[in-house]
Structures are given as structure tokens and as C-alpha cells.
Amino acid sequence: MPRSIFAFIPLILFVAGSLPADERPNILFIMSDDHTSQAFGCYGSRLAKLNPTPTIDRLAKEGMLFENAFCTNSICTPSRACILTGQYAHINGVHDLGGKIESKRQYLALEMRQAGYHTAMIGKWHLKEEPGAFEFYSVLPGQGKYFDPVFRVQGAKKWPNNTIQFKGMHSSDAITNQTLRWLKEGWDHKRPFFLMHHYKAPHDFFEYAPRYADYLADVKIPEPANLWKQPAFGSLATRGANDELLPHIGTSIGRRNPRRNYVKHYKIDSKLSDEDAQRAAYNVYLKHYLRCVKGVDDNLARLFGHLEETGQMDNTVIIYTGDQGFMLGEHDYMDKRWMYEESQRMPLLIRYPKSIPAGSRTGTIVENVDFGPTMLDFAGVKTPSVMQGRSFRSICESGQEPAGWKQEAYYRYWMHMAHHDNPGHVGIRTKTHKLIFYYGCDYKGQQQTPPGWELYDLAKDPTEVVNQYDNPAYADVVTDLKTRLAALRTRVGDTGQDFPAVEAVIQEFWDYDQDDRKKAEEISHTYLRSRSQ
Ligand code: CA
């Protein structure tokens, strides 16, 4: 940066922020791809006993763990766009993997930079356009590769034509090496840094570094009970009429979905029974996944070690998250996209010992659109009006929800039946219940799967195995949550303005009377025929 511009920065800070420059913390935002809360020690799941994340768990032990952090659209590119813009998908326009955010809308980085932070983005980016709002970047093209990864960097040529390659290296190691190098040689110490450090791991297909080949090799991975058949789970939307769509909705661990499942992918012995094959596939899947997680955790030990050595550990707000959750065999599902707990929930840990009490936990509902405002708040910057999210910094520091804090998370998945055979859906999650509406159509209102509703009582049924939508005892809950979902849609601005054909389907099946149910059954038969052709 030219000296003349640098001279103006304290003035900008005075205007933009409430904290004096020398007291502002660094902000390190660490995000792994598809690292789900079940695959942590600190979240206490069935896998915690395997101690998968000793380094990351330190952030929970010395900071705050969020039990109810949610993405608003459980898939890579949209979640990243929500974090960077502070806007829901229907506002920032990134509904699916085809979305992009150009430099002028990379609001989080722009605001940090304007406030005098030294900004850098290293690792998986997945927003297509140049990360031009950052002063330094080195990002994987698209999904990037696990081995011999190539990165798009700044240089003489126009984006995206300057590249570097790390031959013989795993992506998690290459990303950490670049961050360490930037901290040592690139960071201008006169300013605090805002660094986004994003791993590709543990995204599929879970290619771990060879040094982890023996990790968990002889361990039988604990199974979720709902890996196996749960007769009251799901709806006409996810099972079809008389369960006729079970092979076609949601890719599977076992042989259920013949198009895509891990028995097939991992070439499990075809002579095994369905149950034995499913169990074997689950174990291979989880071991590959957890070996990638281990690589992330070990690399963070290197990063945290460097921050300790340089005296920056306690002077840095360290945030760890995944871009969404992930199904690790729950309901026999793989991947994310679903509104079910394991997919909707984001792991979220924040450590900053100067103001966040060690070992604190909160059940407050926060969404990925709130992450940007919170980081800006730690930097002393007011949330820009363009962002829909709200800072939860005070919750980190006090454990108390401020007046009027949200009691509901909004959810919408748009990529109807793409890649993993998930129908389009919309829903609301409160601290105690979840209502999901599978409207089941593409952007044109076509390729219909049967519409259907699901209600889960999370207090009694945290693993979501009993759909209570048609239980008369829950009629009032359904009515209340439908009213709240409609109001929430209006509040977040998702009123169907961009896709009227989809909205027409949503409205048609909203009340879900007997005629709607009959029509949904017919749609199920039609869809089955289309898959059989
Ligand atoms: Ca992801």
C-alpha cells in the first residue's frame, strides 16, 4: 500500500469503528468444507470417543461453543456467499453451486479493509469471481484438488490466469503452509489482520494424506441408530406413495439408492447381505472422512503453534466452522443439502480470551448471515445496512441473548434433485421444533417430486425419527409453525418474487388438504415412471 494512502487509515478508523486501532484484535476465520458437528470431540457425538479433533476442541475449551448455529442453505457456494455478504441466498442471488459474488459485493472483506484491517483469503473460495476485495489471496479453482493442488494468485496476468502449484503436497498442508508464510512474510504488522483460512478437506471424495492411512484402521466406527430403517421417519415427499420413491430420493450409504451409494462407490463385496454391505460401506466412508478431519486438526496445531510463538494467539479472535453440516450415515444419507439436523447445523467455536469466557456454551440460534456482522463487531465496525444478519458478539461475551434476538432459523434448499437426489424444500427451526416443507420442483416449477410436510419434536426426538405432521396431538404446533414460517419468509424477503412458478407450487400445497395429498401421490407415481424409463 502506498504510504500516502496508509496515512489516512487512522482517520478512517476513527470514523468507522469504536475501538482504537491498537486495541483491535486480529480476526482469523477458519472454515473447513463439510466438517460436521458429529465429527468433533467437543460436540460430544457418538464419534467424540474417537477423539477426532484434539486441537480444534481447544477452541471450545477456551472459548464458546454454539449448539444452534445454522446455515440457511446447506451447500458450499451458497453458505460461503451468505457469510461474505451477510445476506440470505434469495437476496445475494447465490441459490446454488452456479452462483458467484463479484468483488464489489464481497462486503465482509470490503468493510474490514476499509476499517484498516489487512485482509487475506487463503484456500477454498468457490465463489467463481476474483476475491478482489482482499489485499492478498491464494485460492483453489472451484473445488480444487486434494493432491498437487493449484491455486489462483495475484500476479502479472488477469484473474484467473496467475497460478501456482504445490506438487507432491496435500491441499490441507499447502493451505496451511501458505497461511503461515503470509503471517510471517506478508502480514503488515502495523495493522490487525482479517484472514479467511479455508480448507478443502473433508469434502468428498475424502482423499486423505498418505500419512493417515493407518489412522482408525482397526477401529469399528460407532453407528447412528438411524442408519437403519426408521419407519416413522420422512414423508410422502421423501419416501413416495407406499415408499415407492425410497430408491430415488436421497443418495445412500447402503444399496437403497441404486444410482449413487457408498456400497457401489467403495466397491464393497457384492456377496455381502444388504445389512453387512451397508455396515462395511459406512465404515469405509467414515474412516476416509475422519482421516481428512485429522489432517485439518494436525495442520491447525501448526497454525496455532505459530500464533503462540509470535504472541498473537490471545490477540486474535479465532473462529472455527464448517460451511455446513454433513450426513454421516444418519437416515442412511450421505452429503448435505437436507434440512435435517446434521446437515443444517454448522459447527461454530469462537475463542478470544480477552472477552469470551472459557468453556462457555450457548443454545442461542445464530445463522451464517450473522457471522459477518459479528466479525465486524469484533473489529469495531457497525454492521453495514446491506447485510441482513446481526452481530452476536454480545452473546459470545455475556452468554445472554439481547432483546429481540431471533428465535427461528430460516432454511431453503433450491437445487431440486441435483447430484444427491434431494427435493427442493423450505422450513423453519426453533429451539424445540422443526417444520420442513418439501415443495419438490425445479426453478421452473417442473420435474416435480411429491410435495409433503415433516414436523420433528426436537426436544423429544433429537435424531428426527418420528414425523409428527399428521399426529393430531401436534395440530396446534403445525398451525403455529406454518404461520411463523410464512412470517419468517416475509421478514427475510423470500416471498417467491424471482421464481413465480415455484411459488405457485408452494402456495398450492401449503394447506396440504386431502386433494393436495391425492395429487402428491399421483406426482409420486409420475416421478417413479420417469425414473424407470
Ligand atoms: Ca461444503
For every one of its 533 residues, what pLDDT tens digit does the chain have, with 9 covering 90 and above? 444 444 444 444 444 445 666 689 999 999 999 999 999 999 999 999 999 999 999 999 999 999 999 999 999 999 999 999 999 999 999 999 999 999 999 999 999 999 999 999 999 999 999 999 999 999 999 999 999 999 999 999 999 999 999 999 999 999 999 999 999 999 999 999 999 999 999 999 999 999 999 999 999 999 999 999 999 999 999 999 999 999 999 999 999 999 999 999 999 999 999 999 999 999 999 999 999 999 999 999 999 999 999 999 999 999 999 999 999 999 999 999 999 999 999 999 999 999 999 999 999 999 999 999 999 999 999 999 999 999 999 999 999 999 999 999 999 999 999 999 999 999 999 999 999 999 999 999 999 999 999 999 999 999 999 999 999 999 999 999 999 999 999 999 999 989 999 999 999 999 999 999 999 999 999 999 999 87
pLDDT of residue 21: 61
Residue 181: other Cβ atoms inside 10 A: 13
- 347 CA distance to ligand 1 middle (Å): 12
Q: Near ion ligand 1, which residues have CB within 5 Å?
A: 33-34, 76, 323
- 409 CA distance to ligand 1 middle (Å): 19
Domains contained in the chain, CATH given? 25-209+292-398 (3.40.720.10), 213-284 (no CATH), 409-532 (3.30.1120.10)
pLDDT of residue 13: 44
Using the Cα atoms of residue 333, residue 338, residue 341 and residue 343 in order, give the sign of their dihedral: positive
pLDDT of residue 22: 62
**Could you tell me what percentage of the chain is helix, strand and coil, using 3-state DSSP and rounding each to the nearest 5?**
35, 15, 45
Residue 355: other Cβ atoms inside 10 A: 13
Report how many helices (DSSP H) and strands (DSSP E) the chain contains, helices first: 16, 16
Q: Are the C-beta atoms of residues 111 and 384 closer than 8 Å to each other?
A: yes
- 102 CA distance to ligand 1 middle (Å): 20
- 527 CA distance to ligand 1 middle (Å): 28
Residue 197 dihedral angles phi and psi, to the nearest 5°: -120, 105
Cα–Cα dist 183/310, whole Å: 10
Angle, helix 76-85 to helix 371-378, in steps of 10 degrees: 40
